[in-house]
Amino acid sequence: MVDSSSKQTKVTSSHWGAFEVDVEGDRIVATRPFSHDPHPTPIPGILPAAVHHRTRVAHPSIRRGWLEKRKRDGRGSDEFVALPWDEALDIAATEIDRVRREYGNKAIFGGSYGWSSAGRFHHAQSQAHRFLNSIGGYVASFGSYSTGCAQSIMPHVFGANFLQLLYEHQDGWQTIHDHTQTLVMFGGINPKNSQVSMGGVTEHETAGWFHRFAAKDMRCINIGPQRIDAPEGCEWIPVRPASDTALMLALAHVLESEGLTNRDFLARCTVGFERFRPYLMGETDGQPKSPEWAAPLCGVDPDTTRNLARRMASTRTLVTVAWSLQRGEHGEQPYWMSAVLSAMLGQIGLPGGGVGYGYGAIGGVGKSLIGLGGMTFSQLTNPVETVIPVARIGDMLRNPGQPYDFNGRREPYPDIRLIYWAGGNPYHHHQDLNALHEAWQKPETVIVNEPWWTATAKRADIVFPATTPYEREDIGRSNLDDYLFHMPRLIPPVGEARDDYAIFAGLAERLGVGAVFTEGRSAADWLSLLYEEYRSLAVPKGVEVPDLEELRARNWIRLPIRAEGPNRTLFAPFRENPEASPLGTPSGKIEIFSETIDAFGYDDCPGHPVWLPPSEWLGAATVAAPLHLVSPQPGDKLHSQFESALADREGARPETLVMHPGDATVRGIRTGDLVRVFNTRGACRARASVSEDIHPGVVALPTGAWFGDPGGNIDPDGNPNVLTKDVGTSRLGQGCSAHTALVDVARLEA
């Protein structure tokens, strides 16, 4: 226990960076920015209120309808009964055992996400999956809501794991500064989004680098529906959402029609251009993909497109693509087409040139570091082979046994009887939440480990109160950051909260696999073991890491692992010698046309990139739904974390909806007005902010507000996912489609 009369200040780490924490007795009372962060985020300011908020889960709790009658309906509206830990663990273990005996482990879905803690041992995804594997396995998921579509398509194009390309091989900011003359940002590069990074981002550098880019007269061009998607001072080419592929095709058409295509690079380093060119030039369908063709689709003047293409061909150009572009129907196409456009420019593999993905999406992209392995809690081996795309959870629950296509395979959805979720909130990530709420009633049991009464916890049958990162000891590190942190236990667990390891160890013991899960080690034992493994793996790379006791005493250190230079440039060895350094594609080269994808026979993702309009965008707007909704990440938190405390702030909720003056005027809406945002899927409240910095016909509503009560006429706080469409990006990627939604907006009188 912490001495109630003591006062201490420590530095701890989080996904949004390091910060100082003041503790008095058993309470966190204040936070301050970390002194080494040049642009600290304000996110930690709400932490003291959130950690001690009234919405913390105080006791093990079981939904009354499930406890008394095993009723499935009532999730989201039923009351909960607090029980002692031993009784709640007994009930949960008995139910898990029943499901696996009656239906097999293929009836258990292990939902988890990696954003609950920056600590390496208390990583909820590793903890949950290790437990489920120790009892015989579970149905797993592929990819993430952020990049699931890209994770499917890009290996076909570049022959490599998309996340490895993203984090380990792209140019760093210094290389971009030194070599890039034209930075073309499809979807922008937003410092707001780069506040966070998996495992932590200690020095927030994105905004600072753009000041340096401006000082050297680099042209930075933001192509997207909002001016604020790139730092101040960047040029803005407004485009309609979901039209980026059309603009990329038009740029490619200019290159080809004006003799600016780098044919030597295409011949040496790519395959399939001869299959793609007839489509580009209109020989196969009678429609050249010219700037004039693209103008009414994307809203960009043809002369602007031509001038940009010529500039890109005559200067060292880096094309960057935001994660948001692949989060919509046909999200595979802009990612594939960006690779083709960059290949036609012939600059892939040159420092500061070519193509890059995810800059600004998280803070770690753009930091060139020597990767140090280790400090990963083993998830063991999953005997269940069934895996679904992560964004198809709703379809899985609605359609057990129904076949679906995914990346060349066709399989039936599993029949899920039990969901175990830890470390995430699907009622933040998922689309069409009203439909998800209905599907969520179908499993026989839902178990959740959760610190707060989130929408997911309210829709569970058994809820175990979990600690926050400030109530347990851990180590903070990331391959995207050059700082290493000891994360001390700052306060005792709030209420009866236990860490995930203790919860799963208790369940594993009751299910007869305690030794398999824990291997006889305490949490402290595991922390020491994982840390020593990390230290040993650093030695061959010439990096000295202090022992754990020294790190505890020092609290944090900065590691000498910066690694700028030409060896970090994406595909540099391949460019130099494609035969000696082939890619992992079937051809060994960049695949402009993919025989593999073509053989799948998907009309929504053919053998080369094409323009495929989504079912909902401004080109298909109706009188009932004339506006295109985009749902960016919030600026005041990570996803939906700390939302309960943020919502207490005066005027903070409902969330703010940005709309163009022309769209606001015809609806009689002014800045500050309460509005109703709606379509056939649902409705939510929001507070209007009228701005010239958004494309006409587009409205922007950030994610993160907690999903309200089901069955009401309107979501009270402004969750955009009551409006978004729950369809896969295509049969190939099956990613989330958060940016495919048409809505209307009306002023609320009260």
Distance CA 506, CA 501 (A): 9
* Residues in contact with 98: Cβ distance below 8 Å, sequence separation at least 6, in sequence order: none
pTM equals 0.96
pLDDT band at residue 709 under the 50/70/90 scheme: low
Instruction: Provide the CA 468 distance to its chain's centre, in angstroms.
Output: 21
* Cross-strand partners of 142: 389
At 163 the pLDDT is 84
Weakest-pLDDT range from 498-507, 534-543, 560-569: 560-569
Which has the higher per-residue pLDDT, 73 or 327?
A: 327
Find the farthest-apart pair of alpha carbons in the chain and give their distance in angstroms, rounded. 80
Report helix, strand or coil for 214: helix
CA atoms within 13 A on the CB side of 170: 25
| CA geometry: angle 456, 325, 598, nearest 5 deg | 105
480-528 pLDDT, tens digit per residue, is 899 999 999 999 999 999 999 999 999 999 999 999 999 999 999 999 9
If phi > 0 it is left, if psi is from -120 to 50 it is alpha, else beta; for residue 555 that is left
* pLDDT of 636 above 70: yes
Task: State the catalytic residue, choosing from 66, 113, 359, 421.
Answer: 113
* pLDDT of 712 above 90: no
At 2 the pLDDT is 42
| CA geometry: angle 193, 235, 690, nearest 5 deg | 65
* pLDDT of 711 above 70: no
Matching residue, tokens 């803690």: 117
Distance CA 542, CA 536 (A): 11
539-548 pLDDT, tens digit per residue, is 999 999 999 9
Looking at residues 154-163, what average pLDDT do you find? 94
- Please report the DSSP string for 179-209 in residue order: H-SEEEEET---TTGGG--TT--SS--HHHH
Average pLDDT, the chain: 95
Task: State the catalytic residue, choosing from 16, 66, 85, 115.
Answer: 115
23-72 pLDDT, tens digit per residue, is 999 999 999 999 999 999 999 999 999 999 999 999 999 999 999 999 98
Looking at residues 319-347, what average pLDDT do you find? 98
Instruction: Provide the CA 720 distance to its chain's centre, in angstroms.
Output: 16
Distance CA 45, CA 26 (A): 18
Cis bond leading into 40, ω under 30°? no
pLDDT band at residue 743 under the 50/70/90 scheme: very high
At 1 the pLDDT is 40
At 112 the pLDDT is 78
Domains for the chain: give ranges and CATH numbers. Answer: 61-143+373-558 (3.40.50.740), 148-367+569-599 (3.40.228.10), 618-747 (2.40.40.20)
Told to judge if 115 belongs to the known catalytic residues of this protein, a careful annotator would answer: yes
Check: CB of residue 621 under 8 Å from CB of residue 615: no
At 641 the pLDDT is 92
728-739 pLDDT, tens digit per residue, is 999 999 999 999
Check: CB of residue 221 under 8 Å from CB of residue 183: yes
* pLDDT of 568 above 80: no
* pLDDT of 4 above 60: no
445-485 pLDDT, tens digit per residue, is 999 999 999 999 999 999 999 999 999 999 999 988 999 99
Per-residue tokens: 103: 């239906």
pLDDT band at residue 710 under the 50/70/90 scheme: low
How large is the C-alpha radius of gyration of the chain? 26
Looking at residues 107-129, what average pLDDT do you find? 90
* pLDDT of 642 above 90: yes
pLDDT band at residue 114 under the 50/70/90 scheme: confident
At 643, phi and psi to the nearest 5?
Answer: -60, -35
* Residues in contact with 540: Cβ distance below 8 Å, sequence separation at least 6, in sequence order: none
The type of residue at 437 is: H
DSSP 359: B
pLDDT band at residue 562 under the 50/70/90 scheme: confident
At 120 the pLDDT is 94
Instruction: Provide the CA 76 distance to its chain's centre, in angstroms.
Output: 25
Among residues 21, 63, 156, 70, which one has the least CA distance to residue 485? Answer: 21
At 7 the pLDDT is 82
Weakest-pLDDT range from 228-237, 661-670, 702-711: 702-711
Q: How distant, in Å, are the alpha carbons of 135, 508, 513, 566 from that of 384?
A: 11, 18, 17, 43
pLDDT band at residue 750 under the 50/70/90 scheme: low
Looking at residues 132-158, what average pLDDT do you find? 96
At 164 the pLDDT is 82
Could you tell me what percent of the chain has a pLDDT over 70? Answer: 98
Matching residue, tokens 């792209």: 170
Distance CA 715, CA 676 (A): 9
Residues listed for the chain? 750
Told to judge if 279 belongs to the known catalytic residues of this protein, a careful annotator would answer: no
Cβ burial of 374 (10 Å; 0-12, 13-18, 19+) is middle
pLDDT band at residue 564 under the 50/70/90 scheme: low
